[in-house]
Structure 1
């Protein structure tokens, strides 16, 4: 072979190898500039006896789901997943994201994982579950085997869906007010202290008569279209989703009922619901806890979902309109956490399994956070919309402030990411009293507000300017 021919052979080989490398990181069905979507849905309903939030599952009222989308673009894939669970925290949060990332051929930092926080749905935390197993309390509050099964079901759903991604040609952005659902849980007195907690249900005339307080009354929706076919709708609204709960009657609550009603109204379209910054927001003003109120609340949320869909603004979209931003963030640890006392409580057989599990959860968070563990706070910019993904039971003030930071954009927020920090309040709330800022609820320090507000501002204002 001549020198010239040999060089041409080497060039050919390099081209072939380069193609192989590109195929290894980019799906072969994705051309430059294209935006595609993979909707996925997995049934993660527990068997009877599996622990859900406050009791073993005694009845399955509705199935539970983990559903979402994978977005394929010129960037690495992005996964958005919402799970019918009270919370996914600590190592559970990490492992879920790692496994979903493998299925979508991306990195864990590009997976946004959120629970909807229903109170008759399971808790997921491998590390806390392991501590309970070591104390002979396996399956009391956490079931790691069930956790692994759930992850595998979602992985299988993503893997199957990746075989047939759908083209996205247009993005629809909608917004509608939700009437008579959300109200602030914390009613302040003249001294600026919490005088009354309104909770998720109330029969107190004073609590019912009091104003809604600080909430975000709007539901926002992001719809992905292939020409005239809506492929998937992401719905964002901030409220605790409880109507009544606590006996082990597994269900997806009124937000899930609204979501499923929209799925029936739009055959072939996947509706996904994400809970926003609802740490201090619930239905207490409008919900007396009776069984009749669950479908009524569901109907109110469903109407807002429909109106947001019907009045959406639809524009063409390409891969160039998608940008993902990540800020790894260490949250300040609450000073009330005492690792020695927590460890002693875990081993104390005179304590209830619930008390020992609570101590284990706190110890796991304390050890991770004290070691400098960072949580990904992320933002997906899509055309004129920005979707923020935050940890914990975040106060609604964070959501409202994020919208102020980028008033020219539609800003959606999903909270209840890593459940490890518990409630994330505003700084002033820690001096006002009330449940959310108490040592039993919040595992972060008051300076968390200054940390997160800066991160939120940086992320939501990071969208590239339109050419």
Structure 2
């Protein structure tokens, strides 16, 4: 909404977003959440499981011998021979599942998997793509059991090795992900869950701003009518984030403790390395991660990634390389400190 406000001030309102639709959607979700409380069920157990997902995810950043990105493997890069033949690279190959039970009756399922959820796209139609198809398939297979899916830290992960952007690839990718979800369901361990096993932590965090983003320069770009709308809209988005951080605004980063499970909620298009690092920090626990919360930072890479080139650590990332140290400290505190 802050970006839209800036754009309206220079007669570019509604060029970037539809605030009326956004507000309506927020209100509908709030109303549905309130209504759902009238149908609350007591949870006695949770189920924890993970399933291997084969031939879906691959790292987007292919490094050369010099340690620099030599090939940007996007979501539909499978049409390029080099992208198909390059190794999968660093990914998290597992979909993780948390289910809620009332004794022997399943109530709901949450799943988490790290990848860009795109097969063919860019045609002006918003849809749930292969990830949504997989979720729907599993919900129907379990008799309509509510199933909510979260994208993990998939900022540098996509289906590019296995997807060429053709329409027939969408159901194939969906089937592969659904198979992983089914494996997670069938192998889950069911555990007692009581109220004293629950916990909620929130750590407000200030993220370091990219050094090249200067408030005065961004404001000048926004007002420059000689520039393209695309450049001016980008300037408004950048300016919004810079002002938020310069004013000392902090982004809430949180964890939900469910017995032996830890559900982490992170901002931005986070690199998968953060998800893998969180799991290593607490190997005795069942750690899942949902990224893409506060989208202000854009892409969030690892420190070394900012010296390696590539799309994700270019202008689409509004944070500085020091962001890794900041986020890892926050993740460590969420997993290991009492609050």
TM-score normalised by length of structure 2: 0.97
**1:130 CA displacement:** 1.5
Deviations 1:9-32 (A, max 9, x none): xxxxxxxxxxxxxxxxxxxxxxxx
**C-alpha contact (below 8 Å) 1:381/1:463 kept by paired residues:** no
2:164 corresponds to 1:313: no
User: Residue 187 of structure 1: SS of its match in structure 2?
Assistant: strand
Q: Alignment partner for residue 173 of structure 1, among 48, 52, 62?
A: 48
The equivalent of 1:381 in structure 2 is 257
Q: Alignment partner for residue 5 of structure 2, among 118, 130, 134?
A: 130
- For 2:108 and 2:10, the matched residues in 1 are separated by 44
| Larger relative contact order (CA 8 Å, sep ≥ 6) | 2
User: Residue 449 of structure 1: SS of its match in structure 2?
Assistant: helix
The equivalent of 1:258 in structure 2 is 134
Alignment of 1:315-464 (within 5 A): 315-438=191-314, 440-462=315-337
**1:268 CA displacement:** 4.2
2:28 corresponds to 1:153: yes
The equivalent of 1:189 in structure 2 is 64
2:102 corresponds to 1:226: yes
Report which of the two structures shows the higher radius of gyration computed on alpha carbons. 1
**C-alpha contact (below 8 Å) 1:223/1:230 kept by paired residues:** yes
- For 1:167 and 1:435, the matched residues in 2 are separated by 46
**1:138 CA displacement:** 2.3
Deviations 1:105-127 (A, max 9, x none): xxxxxxxxxxxxxxxxxxxxx11
- For 1:243 and 1:418, the matched residues in 2 are separated by 24
Deviations 1:205-251 (A, max 9, x none): 11111110000000000000112221111100000111111121121
User: Residue 290 of structure 1: SS of its match in structure 2?
Assistant: coil
Q: Alignment partner for residue 156 of structure 2, among 273, 280, 287?
A: 280
**Structure 1: gaps of 5 or more residues:** 1-125
**Structure 2: gaps of 5 or more residues:** none
TM-score normalised by length of structure 1: 0.71
- For 1:270 and 1:463, the matched residues in 2 are separated by 32
2:75 corresponds to 1:200: yes
- For 1:193 and 1:341, the matched residues in 2 are separated by 29
Stretches (4+) displaced over 4 A = none
Q: How many residues align?
A: 338
- For 1:258 and 1:353, the matched residues in 2 are separated by 37
**C-alpha contact (below 8 Å) 1:231/1:268 kept by paired residues:** no
**1:194 CA displacement:** 0.8
**C-alpha contact (below 8 Å) 1:332/1:447 kept by paired residues:** yes
